[in-house]
Amino acid sequence: MSTWDDNERYWRDPETDHWGYPRRKWVDDPLKGWYEEKNAEITQAVADYIKEHNESLIMKSVIDRFDGHYNFLSNFYPDPVTYGPITYRTAEHAYQTAKFLDSKVRQVIITAKTPGAAKKFGRSFPMRSDWEKVKVKVMEDVLAAKFSNPILREKLLDTGDSELIEGNTWGDRYWGVCGGSGENVLGKLLMKLREHLRAIHRPAPMPELPEPNVKEEVKAEAKESSIYPTTDENGNISSSSSMVPMGDGGSGSGQSA
């Protein structure tokens, strides 16, 4: 009679094969179908992730929209930014708050629930008198604070040498480009920051210098010196070599003339 072997998980028949080993009859695992289904799901999920990851690493010559894989370049990107003594919800909150010196107005913008709301409030109150003079420097500092986050910093560096253009459809031709025209100040500041971060975190490797060929240098020195004979390819002393005679009368005798 066949018996179940708990240790080896198969039916063991008392009969043996021609080698004398017990015949084994494998039993279908009742969970086999479930395993195969889950394995297919996991395989597909991994394939989807790899595809998405590879697409995000494609070095585009021009990145003209700060959305999708490149939404982290937008000031609306939902990541806290510590600018000065305050941590803001987004870079947009930090920038819009800097327009004002009145603490009450600043608090309204700081507590805005979305970057869009912060931008709207930033256009609803009288701005500080020197804003036009300082706004680019403020944006530069806000971006530096934002990309001090190591994850965002690496994402910015991974854009390589791509041109960064803040393409938009809402008519901003100062910070970005709309309808094919614009100063793209935001994109230029991001590229400037990228170069600065690259020099610090991804410096270019030092070029490898060739190792000096000491053997060849010694040979060259020997040929230039009259006290060494020249040799041919086989190591034989060339007949044209001028050897300095040693012995009586020669300067090699150790005696003065």
- Dihedral over alpha carbons 239, 244, 248, 249 (to 10 degrees): 120
Residues 6+ apart with CB under 8 A from 241: 229, 230
CATH code at 75? 1.10.357.40
Task: Classify residue 177: in a domain, yes or no.
Answer: yes
Task: Classify residue 21: in a domain, yes or no.
Answer: no
Task: Classify residue 27: in a domain, yes or no.
Answer: no
Task: Classify residue 232: in a domain, yes or no.
Answer: no
Question: What's the gap between Cα 70 and its chain centre?
Answer: 14
Task: Classify residue 251: in a domain, yes or no.
Answer: no
pLDDT at res. 224:
61
- Read off the tokens for 240: 């044209």
Residues 6+ apart with CB under 8 A from 65: 167
pTM: 0.60
pLDDT at res. 236:
65
Task: Classify residue 239: in a domain, yes or no.
Answer: no
Task: Classify residue 131: in a domain, yes or no.
Answer: yes
> How many domains are contained in the chain?
1
Backbone angles phi, psi at 230, to 5 degrees: -90, 145
pLDDT at res. 209:
73
pLDDT at res. 148:
97
Residue-range definition of the domain harbouring residue 68: 62-201
Looking at residue 40, its amino acid is A
pLDDT at res. 43:
77
CA-wise closest residue to 189 among 158, 147, 151: 147
Task: Please name every residue paired with 181 in a beta bridge, in sequence order, or none if there are none.
Answer: 178
Q: Is the dihedral of CA 7, 11, 14, 15 positive or negative?
A: negative
Question: How many residues appear in the chain?
Answer: 257
Please report how the helices 150-157 and 185-201 are oriented relative to each other, as an axis angle in degrees rounded to 10. 100
Task: Classify residue 169: in a domain, yes or no.
Answer: yes
pLDDT per residue, tens digit, the chain (257 aa), is 545 545 554 444 556 555 656 555 555 556 666 667 777 787 787 777 666 655 554 556 999 999 999 999 999 999 999 999 999 999 999 999 999 999 999 999 999 999 999 999 999 999 999 999 999 999 999 999 999 999 999 999 999 999 999 999 999 999 999 999 999 999 999 999 999 999 999 987 877 777 766 666 666 665 565 555 556 666 566 555 554 455 444 444 444 44
